[in-house]
Amino acid sequence: MSTVTATEEFTELDSVVVRFSGDSGDGMQLTGTQFTNASAIAGNDISTFPDFPAEIRAPAGTLAGVSGFQVNLSSHEIFTPGDSTDVLVAMNPAALAANLPDLRDDCIVIVNEDAFTKHNIKKAGFAENPLEDGTLERFRLHRVKLTTLNREAVADIEGLSQKEIDRTKNFFSLGLICWMYDRPMEPTLEWVQKKFKKNPTLVEVNTKAFKAGFHYGETTETFQLRFRIAPARLNDGIYRKITGNEALALGLVTAGKLANKDIFYGSYPITPASDILHALAALRHFGVRTFQAEDEIAAMGATVGAAFAGAFAVTASSGPGVALKSEALNLGLALELPMILIDVQRGGPSTGLPTKTEQSDLMMALFGRNGEAPLPIIAACSPSDCFDTAIEAFRFAVRATCPVIILSDGYLGNSAEPWKIPDPGKMEPIKVVHPSKVDGQEFMPYERDPETLGRPWAIPGTPGLEHRVGGLGKAPVTGNVSYRPEHHAQMVEDRQAKVDKLTDIIPDQTTHGPDSGDLLVMGWGSTYGAIRAAVSRAQSEGYSVSSTQLRHICPLPKNLPDLMGRFKKVLIPEMNCGQLAFYLRGKLGVEVESLTQITGRPFKIETIQDAIRDLLGKDAK
Amino acid sequence: MATRTANGKAPTPKLSRKDFASDQDVRWCPGCGDYAILAQMQKMLPELDIPKEDIVFVSGIGCSSRFPYYMNTYGIHSIHGRAPTLASGIKLTNPKLKVFVITGDGDALSIGGNHLMHVLRRNIDLTVVLFNNRIYGLTKGQFSPTSRTGHVTKSSPLGSIEQPLNPLSVALAAEATFVARSIDVETKHLQDTLQQAAQHKGASFVEVLQNCNIFNDGAWHHVTKDDAKEDHLLRLEPGQPLVFGQEKQKGLRVSGLGLEVVEASQADTSPFDPTEKSGALAYALSRMEYPDFPVPIGVFRQVDMPTYETDMDAQVAFAKSKKGDGDLLDLYLSSDIWKVGGDGKVPEERNELKKQIRS
């Protein structure tokens, strides 16, 4: 929170990181989202990080039940939700305890004093009351009786239980923070109107709570400072906020339109991928058919069937679900039909960390199928990039007639950033050809297109092209069942060559910064923001360092070996134990440095900056 | 009779059995019951009056699952137990297609048990034909989920200690709207049953008692080979009483919560009605096993229910009627928006807003 100028009333900041934290039932995700919306509308660049437990309502007041929402607001372009918190709103002692390690000195801490009862303090693991014992000395502490103040504020509204009233205290805190950061009231008040339009009492109580919080800031003398963050200088355009999961849903529907195809989405509920299902289920008017299958295997099987019948077929899941889909995905590979599998990765192994992020499914995506089973893999690197990735994945799938894997993760899926709304009219159509019968010619289901090596996507309902496909070994061209050695060898080679052929349309890998130097920091997926920000800082410190984010993991861009060779060292930060590093060492025979983190949380900018300094020496050259 | 085409093109001459035979050599063991089922299917299909390009056969893994390779229609030989899932995706994508799932007792009731249950209860308009030979044939003779307790096989040298599943009871419990049984060697009955199943609107399920002459020969001899086989068979016919035997000398009577075999004169004479909604009698009939009871064949249950894909299409049509054909830009804009540059104000008029995005 670097101070730029102080006016009479406002201190101008160029960025701030605010974190709302409370019990799972305290409505922190909602509060954070509303604050983000108000800030986005005010023109700030934003980046959010929702961080919640897998349990819907863990026991109140416990560390296990703490749900947080962090947002970074800025007047310039930002790439991450921020390393450390500038302002913490803690609804109870557990929320304070959970966030203490992330608070920088002089951080503003607003606590709901009412929640600091002996019982709650003990539950949070504090020996003494942290508000009294000096624990918070290095912070700017504000003790606010949120519960009491909120009760008083809405006391004249009849027909609500104490519990219902207390549930609105998050709106009081939202109002206070909106006042503090000079956010307009309107977006939140409009949202309340819309959300509770069927229940006027709830509109009234939430409106009152919000306004009371806002006015509390104004009238009390506790808060002497208000802050302003100027609008960010983003490119001109109309913007909205978008999460990775929303962007995937929009991208899939867009791809369908670009190809004049209906989307079939076969899926089984799983965290953190379910939001894609929810988004698509609401889009029946786009011809989207969502099929909530009986299990992950069925979701994949139905996707393969839909692809055979001619739909743009998609399934999505997370690690444990993708493991279950492996066999049916491999059938899709053997049938050589276009479709998409999205893996919104989470911490593993097994059930692992359902709501926490990780990039540990890379090896599964590359190699997690029986037999020689190569598939194209694209890793989205930001929430808005998820949109482009979905469209690109369908281009690949149609061209190479095979399943394409999209790797996202929990962080990308749930985090939001501004998205400049594109003009769909300017997007290149996706050309799909379903062959029809040519008189006098026998149809050959596995006759390959010499340019793409894909096979004809002949769909049921087409007279004269009746044919059978299956998972058994087959002869080239005819696709008839065959176990002959030369047939098997050729089919294996053809399927690999077909995937490799995609390099014809994969753009060259480019760098942020010079295309040669001492160090290339190469990431994939959601590490983009932290890497980009860390490298920018290192560059401004004078280091010879560039960054690049690998979106195309299989096949790799043609120029990648050359690009890597132009740097003395290559550093690969990953939220796993070094899977991309392992892959590149084997695939390209190159030596790389690995920076790994397996905490279930995204990288901090600082962590990557430190690694750069360690590799290049403390002083910039 | 002429064949309609799905896209309304000129009628073509009626298809024959030969039109449905593919160019692939059939490779089941000589004497296998599958041959008879394949023949009846190929004979039956022309009766449906559907062009062959609109027919899809989907199978899983097992001897029976080689079936699609021998049909000159569209087909997928998929993976073990999952055929219903692929068939669901096909039918939902193109509801005009006639979809058959070919499966076996291991494929449908063991590895694919979950999918069978769900494809039936969703009432997706497709026909599941389960070849029940009470053995794993392709893997050379292990006991299956329909093998009798005590059955000695390679994987149960001291006899199977498992209780078998009854395929029809499973189908009825899964809310299948058409449930029937036939026998590989009852050619006419089999052809009729397959045709009724295919013409049923909704999920139809046919168990075919099929002989594996290599690994489980004679599993169904009591209803196929015995001189007294008619005494062991109950031929279900709508509108007819439940009587059976060479001379129709036996019948059934409700006893407690089940059925008992009695002399025809003492039998319940009310006509059998497979359209009865509760399916209670159908279930009781499905429980009857030789030698205590005759083995019923024919249609156990046939009720009308909305199909999944019809309801799905209705939702799509409803959504389009309410919201119009989906417009991408409207979709992108269905969130709080703000403007950077220019006057910084988002135009209130939607068309003006779209114009700015397009410019």
Task: Write out the H or E segment, with its range, that includes residue A548.
Answer: strand A545-550
The 8-class DSSP code of residue A109 comes to: E
Burial of A6 per CB tally in 10 Å (0-12, 13-18, 19+): exposed
User: Could you give the angle at the alpha carbon of A462 between the alpha carbons of A461 and A468, nearest 5°?
Assistant: 85
Q: A247 and chain B: CB distance < 8 Å anywhere?
A: no
Q: A253 and B78: CB-CB below 8 Å?
A: no
Looking at residue B7, its pLDDT comes to 56
User: Tokens 């753009």 identify what position?
Assistant: A507
State yes or no: cis peptide before A555, omega within 30 of 0. yes
Answer for the pair A358, A345: CB distance below 8 angstroms, yes or no. Answer: yes
pLDDT of residue B336: 87
Tokens 């594996």 found at:
B212
Q: Are A209 and A185 in contact (CB under 8 A)?
A: no
Contacts of B330 in chain A (CB under 8 A): none
User: How far, in Å, CA of A60 to CA of B270, rounded?
Assistant: 63
d(CA B183, CA B233): 11
Judged by CB atoms closer than 8 Å, whether chains meet at A307 and B89 is answered as yes
Of residues B52, B82, B323, nearest to A466 (C-beta): B52
User: What percent of chain A is modeled with pLDDT above 70?
Assistant: 98
Q: How far is B350 from chain A (nearest CA, A)?
A: 12
Partner B contacted by A564 (CB < 8 A): no
* Residues of chain B contacting residue A427, judged by C-beta atoms under 8 Å apart: none
- Cβ <8 Å between B6 and A461: yes
Contacts of A20 (CB under 8 A, 6+ apart): A28, A31, A32, A35, A68, A69, A70, A89, A170, A173, A177
Distance, C-alpha B41 to centroid of its chain: 13
Whether residue A390 lies within 8 A of chain B, CB to CB, comes out as: no
pLDDT in tens, A585-595: 999 999 999 99
CB burial class (10 A; 0-12, 13-18, 19+) of residue A425? exposed
Tell me whether the CATH fold assigned to A236-505 matches the one assigned to A517-616: yes
Q: Above 70 in pLDDT, residue A115?
A: yes
The pLDDT tens digits of the residues spanning A529-587 come to: 999 999 999 999 999 999 999 999 999 999 999 999 999 999 999 999 999 999 999 99
CA distance A32 to A244: 17
* Main-chain phi, psi angles of A597, to 5 degrees: -145, 125
Kind and range of the H or E element at A264? strand A263-267
Picking from A499, A520, A518, A517, the residue whose alpha carbon sits closest to that of residue A509 is A520
The H or E element that residue A407 is part of is strand A403-409
CA gap B264, A430 in Å, rounded: 69
Query: Is the pLDDT score of A2 beyond 70?
Result: no
Nearest to A434 by CA among A404, A411, A464: A464
Question: Could you tell me which chain B residue has the CA closest to the CA of A462?
Answer: B53
Mean pLDDT value across residues B194-222? 97
The half-sphere exposure of A52 on its side-chain side, counting CA atoms within 13 A, is: 24
- Chain B contact set for A294 (CB, 8 A): 114-115, 117-118
Strand segments, DSSP code E, in chain B are 2-3, 12-13, 55-59, 74-77, 98-104, 127-132, 178-183, 204-209, 233-235, 243-244, 250-255, 258-263, 295-302, 337-340
Domain definitions of chain A by residue range: 3-229, 236-505, 517-616
Residue of B4, B85, B97 for testing the chain A interface, max A β-carbons within 10 Å: B85
Determine the distance from the C-alpha atom of residue A419 to the mean position of all C-alpha atoms in its chain, rounded to a whole number. 13
% of chain A surpassing 90 pLDDT:
90
Domain A3-229, CATH among 3.30.365.10, 3.40.920.10, 3.40.50.300, 3.30.9.40: 3.40.920.10
DSSP-based three-state secondary structure for A498: helix
Mean pLDDT of A447-456: 98
Give contacts of A422 with chain B, Cβ < 8 Å: 332, 357
Over residues A89-96, the mean pLDDT reads: 96
Would you place residue A523 in the very low, low, confident or very high pLDDT band (cuts 50, 70, 90)? very high
Give CA angle at A152 (A151, A154), nearest 5°: 70
Q: Which of A586, A543, A550 is nearest to A568 (CA)?
A: A543
**What is chain B's percent helix, strand, coil content, to nearest 5?**
35, 20, 45
Beta-bridged to residue A263, according to DSSP, are A312
| Structure tokens belonging to residue A30 | 């909602």
Residue B359 pLDDT greater than 90, yes or no:
no
* Cβ atoms A454, A448 nearer than 8 A: yes
Q: In what order do the strands lie in the sheet with A103-112?
A: A45-51, A66-74, A15-23, A85-90, A103-112, A140-144
CB count within 10 Å of CB B246 equals: 11
Give CA–CA dist A268/A140, Å, rounded.
46
| A213 SS3 class | helix
In angstroms, the Cα distances linking A190 to A37, A313, B27, B351 are 12, 37, 70, 22
Residue A30 has a CB neighbour count (10 Å cut-off) of: 16
CATH number of A236-505: 3.40.50.970
Q: How far is A243 from chain B (nearest CA, A)?
A: 12
Q: Give the start-to-end residue ranges of the domains of chain B.
A: 2-236+272-310, 327-359
Residue bearing tokens 């590149």: A584
| pLDDT for the residue numbered B2 | 47
Within 10 angstroms of residue A186's Cβ, the number of other Cβ atoms is 10
* Cβ–Cβ under 8 Å, residues A250 and B332: yes
**CA of A589 to nearest chain B CA: how many angstroms apart?**
37
A5: enclosing H helix or E strand: strand A3-6
Q: Is A156 exposed, middle or buried (0-12, 13-18, 19+ CB in 10 A)?
A: exposed
Q: At the top level of CATH, which class does the domain A517-616 belong to? A: alpha beta
Average pLDDT over residues A405-417: 96
Q: How far off is chain B from A566, nearest CA to CA, in Å?
A: 38
Neighbours of A172 (CB within 10 A): 27
Of A240, A422, A460, the CB nearest to B97: A460
CB B158 within 8 A of CB B102: no
Residue-wise pLDDT for A389-409, tens only, equals 999 999 999 999 999 999 999
CB-nearest partner of A305 from B22, B71, B89: B89
Structure confidence by residue, pLDDT tens digits, B278-327: 999 999 999 999 999 999 999 999 999 999 999 999 999 999 999 999 99
Strands A263-267 and A10-13: unpaired
Strands (DSSP E) found in A280-382: 289-292, 312-317, 339-345, 377-379
Q: For residues B177 and A496, what is the distance between their CA atoms, to the nearest angstrom?
A: 45
Contact status, residue A320 vs residue A348, Cβ threshold 8 Å: yes
Look at B69 and A462 and tell me if their CB atoms are within 8 Å.
Answer: no
Min Cα–Cα distance to chain B from A542, Å: 32
Q: Which pLDDT tens digit goes with each residue over B3-60?
A: 455 555 555 678 999 999 999 999 999 999 999 999 999 999 999 999 999 999 999 9
User: B237, B232, B298: which is closest to B261 by C-alpha?
Assistant: B232
DSSP state letter for B248: S
Mean predicted lDDT score pLDDT of chain A: 95
Residue A190's pLDDT is 92
User: Per residue in A310-343, pLDDT tens?
Assistant: 999 999 999 999 999 999 999 999 999 999 999 9
Cα(A165)–Cα(A393) distance, rounded to whole angstroms? 48
Question: Residue B76 and residue B100: Cα distance in Å, rounded?
Answer: 10
Lookup result for tokens 């930001």: A382
Contact flag A264-B353 (C-beta cutoff 8 Å)? no
**What span, in angstroms and rounded, lies between the C-alpha atoms of A396 and A405?**
10
Instruction: Please name the residue of chain B whose CA is at the shortest distance from the CA of residue A45.
Output: B340
Which chain A residue has its CA at the smallest distance from B22's CA?
Answer: A467
Give the burial string for A485-497 (b: 16+ CB within 10 Å, else e).
Answer: eebbeebeebbee
Stated as kind and residue range, the H or E segment containing B287 is none
Chain A interface, best mutation among B63, B72, B340, by max A CB count within 10 A = B340
Which residue reads 């045709």 in tokens?
B195
Query: Could you give the ipTM of this predicted complex?
Result: 0.96
Residues of A in contact with B115 (CB under 8 A): 294, 297-298, 301
Name the residue among A236, A283, A305 with its Cβ closest to that of B90. A305
Nearest Cα of chain B lies from the Cα of A555 at a distance, in angstroms, of 27
Average the pLDDT over B222-231 and give the result: 91
CA distance to A92, A168, A220, per residue, from A175 (Å): 18, 11, 14
Smallest CA–CA distance, residue B141 to chain A, in Å, is 21
Per DSSP, the three-state class of A422 is coil
Cα–Cα dist B188/B193, whole Å: 9
Contacts of A239 in chain B (CB under 8 A): 337-340
The answer to whether the Cβ–Cβ distance between B89 and A303 falls below 8 Å is: yes
Q: Residues 6 or more apart from A80 whose CB is under 8 A from it?
A: A47, A72, A529, A530, A533, A602, A604, A605
CATH architecture of B2-236+272-310: 3-Layer(aba) Sandwich (3.40)
- pLDDT at A387 exceeding the cut of 90: yes
- Dmax (CA) of chain A: 91
| DSSP helix/strand/coil, B104 | strand
Extract the tokens encoding B145: 């989920």
Single-letter code of the amino acid located at A134: G
Q: What is residue A621's predicted lDDT score, i.e. its pLDDT?
A: 57
